[in-house]
Structure 1
């Protein structure tokens, strides 16, 4: 973590923790769940060495950034508002955006609401899903996958947090980060063991030090802040009605692994291959499918992802 500076910025009524390194055009990194700025450790070092200013916040509800108690404080407007205020605080008009998982969803909202602030977007794992005016997202998820689908299980405040609390946080983090199952993620029913103790060795790309960093942070904060993102799916659907049918008008490169749980679920593979993704994102320049790579590709395949990011943003 050599040379990475940490500071706190006041944004949109909250205090946001930011890690950054380097000088030059800003590359802004947005993490997912259950992650932190730390998920971008490899990218920060690489991109800053190439003449860019790498900036990676802990998002609202995560790490050392404030976590408002109200679930409704985690809508897409709050999350995008935080990032616009952060960009303003950096003293720049535009940034290169790189985002993964929930950060990727925020990234799409950013491109939808404020394309004037984004030069180009490197999106990892989660493609743009246009708003379907016919039904609410959670209704669709329940109909397709049932109540055991992980996002459905995340809805009731406090319930999944209590399930996580039955095992060590280190074990929770290891379970998330090393999972290589494909297809819709279903969680065991109530009363069953949610996260069994895993004694398998860590993969080469994840160290015990990495797991311990995540665990020590989530031990302090808990998981509620990040889970509240999932609890706003239907509210976000209501709030974004004015953007129904809108396209994303920002240059995009999309990178995912062929065993990423998002790629192998939700009809994602077909959405990409059918050309529908390109129709919704007309400036989509390239889709990269990484062989044998799972969900956390910015960590698992860091060198390859680094090169893809640099090659793309260097064009603009």
Structure 2
């Protein structure tokens, strides 16, 4: 896809170098990707938003793409990640930004809205709604009790385990397995099986992505490896500990949450029930 003229740069923020892609001028919009992704996931939105009068900035979040990738999971807490984003706003001389996040990018957007609501004009969260902090159970303990050891997040906890399992496949196949998931239930592997082995590799691609685009992701993760991206999951219990002061805090910034009815966990995690507290609208068939 031809993105036209975009600016690639590396910015020092919060002790790490982040690679960012930017285009356009006007109000600042931060586009935050998920797993396993990097800025390229926003290739369609970058040009569209820039052409409609926005200054669009799509970073490779720490651990991903061409940004720095600290080795320790303790460097991937929501406090670190929120600090990275505040540093980007400061670098561009902006007090506030519109924040759009998908998957882990949505998680980061939710936490930034709690930690620094003064820096957000509005939040759009895709695929992941806001889940309030459990006052009693740590995240991984809760996941294991509810979904077992075959749950993908449970499997991602052990350093090196997922990396070794992924290495049994070429990078393009790994990308296809994650990007083309067609399950609406939770990603839980049968006993004794790794989640990457449980995921299928579709023979036919959907119309929204090409083999060449998937190869872009494969090439980038072949360069960076998966450890940085997996460390987001490995910091979840630490996030639970560090977020205790915000127990019971409410999201107060203007927010829109969009969850597809074919998203993973849509039914099992009662996304509709969460959205219905204010407003729930279904699009499509």
- With structure 1 as the length reference, what TM-score do the two structures score? 0.86
Distance in 1 separating the partners of 2:262 and 2:105: 20
1:202 aligns with 2:233: no
Q: Which residue of 1 aligns with 2:15?
A: 13
Aligned residues: 282
User: Quick one: structure 1 residues 175 and 289, their matched pair in 2 at CA, closer, same or farther if it must change by over 3 Å?
Assistant: farther
SS in structure 1 at match of 2:87: helix
CA-CA distance at 1:197 after TM superposition: 7.0
Query: Conserved in 1, the CA contact under 8 Å of 2:125 and 2:257?
Result: yes
Alignment of 1:7-156 (within 5 A): 7-156=9-158
Aligned Cα RMSD in Å?
Answer: 1.6
The answer for the alignment partner of 1:299 in structure 2 is none
- SS of the aligned residue for 2:5 comes to coil
Q: Structure 1 residues 199 and 124 mapped into 2: Cα distance closer, same or farther (>3 Å)?
A: closer
CA distance in 2, matches of 1:217, 1:188: 30
Shift of 1:108: 0.5
- SS of the equivalent of 1:194 reads helix
User: How many angstroms apart in 2 are the aligned matches of 1:48 and 1:37?
Assistant: 15
Contact 2:129 2:259 in 1 (8 A): no
CA shift in 2, pair 1:3/1:184, >3 Å:
same
Give the C-alpha shift of residue 269 in structure 1: 2.4
* Per-residue Cα deviation, 1:261-290 (whole angstroms, up to 9, x for no partner): 1423323222223x1xx4xxxxxxx65544
Q: Are the structure 2 counterparts of residues 222 and 289 from structure 1 closer, same or farther at C-alpha, using a change threshold of 3 Å?
A: farther
- Unmatched runs of 5 consecutive residues or more in structure 1: 279-285, 293-316
State TM-score, norm by structure 2. Answer: 0.95
Matched residue, 2:259: 256
Secondary structure of the equivalent of 1:250?
coil
- Kindly indicate whether the alpha-carbon contact (under 8 Å) linking 1:21 and 1:44 is maintained by their aligned counterparts in 2: yes
1:140-195 residue CA offsets vs partner (Å, 9 max, x unmatched)? 11111111011001000000110000001101101111111011111354466716
**SS of equivalent residue, structure 2 residue 259:** strand
Displacement of 1:124 in angstroms is 0.6
* Unmatched 5+ stretches in structure 2: none
